Amino acid sequence: MPRDYEINQSFLKTIVGPEDANLDVVAVHGLNPKNTPNHAEATWTSGDKLWLRDFFPDLSPKTRVMLFGYNANVAFETSSAGIREQAENLLNWLNIERKNDPGRMLVFFCHSMGGILVKRALVHAKSDKNYEPIHTSTAGLVFFATPHKGGNHAALGDVAAKIARGVLLYPSNTFMEALKRNSIFADTFIDDFRQHLEDYLILSFYETRPMGKLGIIVDKRSATLGLPGTRELQIGLDADHREICKFKSEGDPIFKQVSQNILFLLEAAWTAKTHKSSLSRLGISSLKTEEKLKFHSTWRTEDIKTHLYGFLN
């Protein structure tokens, strides 16, 4: 039987830790169906295969992969205070784990409402000097069916409640109403993050398979940010809300599609970071918006191996 702290306390666990790592990936889960202690792993696992540990290192050998675990059900039920607390826990754990290399490039992988927590954390990191290295090091965000805004004919709180119905076994009426009223889904929070969008490259995967009678849980309108293709790549996957980030094998066509697009994002992020460093040496503090767009358009290029070979291998 799991101990209480295994469920209720947050943690950041390394599952892949090469000694020569030059990139950190942090995977963040959403609601926990059974409030179990292994949900941080189960979110990304099909059968006995956790693709972040078993498949991804072959494509990106110098990447450290970490899982963030937290009591998502309580966090989302207790309104913005619960989300803010867990977002700060995530930032604090990252400071601890990255103390020896705080400037290492960082990318977040987020499933469902875990993306909301990560967005809250990044908004906080930008305004708090204690977490400034996390903000400046974060290059990319990979969202798997994260509800960024309301869907077709539904407010964002209603989309969140639909996620609860699809993911949790027996969500209480109290929990459902709390989700609908939760201020984390208010326009003010959405606007807060929108002001940060230029800081990151974004990959948004959305579900195209219905989940039983509930249908599509998070539709394309909700799961994408509506940014230009140079800032956000939007891809529909042949999966439902629960299975969208679970892959049985390296030969799975959906895994190939997901992983190759993640590598495109990493390529573009590394290109932009290298260029930014060059500008800094020349005394130029930052890229203008149009220059960012020009550089970030490289993530659609075909010569991915040329750019990635030295960095990821």
Confidence of residue 303 (pLDDT cuts 50, 70, 90): very low
**Per-residue pLDDT reduced to its tens digit, 175-203:** 566 666 555 555 556 667 877 787 899 99
Give the residue from 115, 153, 147 showing the smallest Cα distance to 222.
147
pLDDT score of 71: 82
What is residue 255's predicted lDDT score, i.e. its pLDDT?
A: 97
pLDDT by residue (tens digit) across 29-38?
988 766 677 8
Q: Say which residue the tokens 């889960």 belong to.
A: 29
Query: What is the pLDDT, as a whole number, of residue 313?
Result: 45
For the chain, what is the mean pLDDT?
A: 80
Q: What percent of the chain has pLDDT over 70?
A: 71
Structure tokens at 307: 């750019």
Separation in Å, CA 288 to CA 253, 271, 293, 294: 38, 16, 9, 10
Residue 145 has pLDDT above 80, yes or no: yes
Residue 195, both tokens:
């002001």
Helix, strand, or coil here: 69?
A: strand
Q: Do residues 52 and 60 touch, judged by C-beta distance below 8 A?
A: no
* Cα 271 from Cα 269, distance rounded (Å): 5
For residue 122, what are its two tokens? Answer: 């990044």
Are 87 and 117 spatial neighbours (Cβ–Cβ below 8 Å)?
Answer: yes
Say if residue 85's pLDDT is above 90.
no
Residue 94 in tokens: 């990252």
Q: Is the pLDDT of residue 294 over 60?
A: no
Percent of the chain scoring above 90 in pLDDT = 49
What's the confidence (pLDDT) of residue 160?
74
For residue 297, name the pLDDT band (cuts at 50, 70, 90). Answer: very low
Confidence at residue 171, expressed as pLDDT on a 0 to 100 scale: 66
Which whole-number Å values give the CA distances from 294 to 105, 225, 277, 290, in the listed order? 20, 20, 16, 6
Mean pLDDT computed over 99-117 = 94
Question: What confidence category does residue 111 fall into, taking pLDDT thresholds of 50, 70 and 90?
Answer: very high
58-61, Cβ contacts within 8 angstroms, sequence gap of 24 or more? 58/250, 59/259, 59/263, 59/312, 60/23, 60/263, 60/266, 60/312, 61/18, 61/312, 61/313
Does an H or E element contain 139, and which?
Answer: strand 138-144
* Residue pLDDT, tens place only, 38-76: 889 999 999 999 999 999 999 999 999 999 998 876 666
pLDDT at 90 over 70: yes
DSSP string, 209-234: S--GGG--SS-HHHH-----TTTEEE
Neighbours of 147 (CB within 10 A): 28
The model's pTM: 0.84
Higher pLDDT pick, 117 / 214: 117
Per-residue model confidence as pLDDT tens digits over 235-270? 999 999 999 999 999 999 999 999 999 999 998 888
- DSSP 8-state symbol, 206: E
Closest CA to 67 of 265, 273, 260, 245: 245
Tell me whether strands 45-46 and 49-50 are parallel, antiparallel or unpaired: antiparallel
- With 0-12 / 13-18 / 19 or more C-beta atoms within 10 angstroms meaning exposed / middle / buried, residue 281 is exposed
Per-residue pLDDT at 40: 92
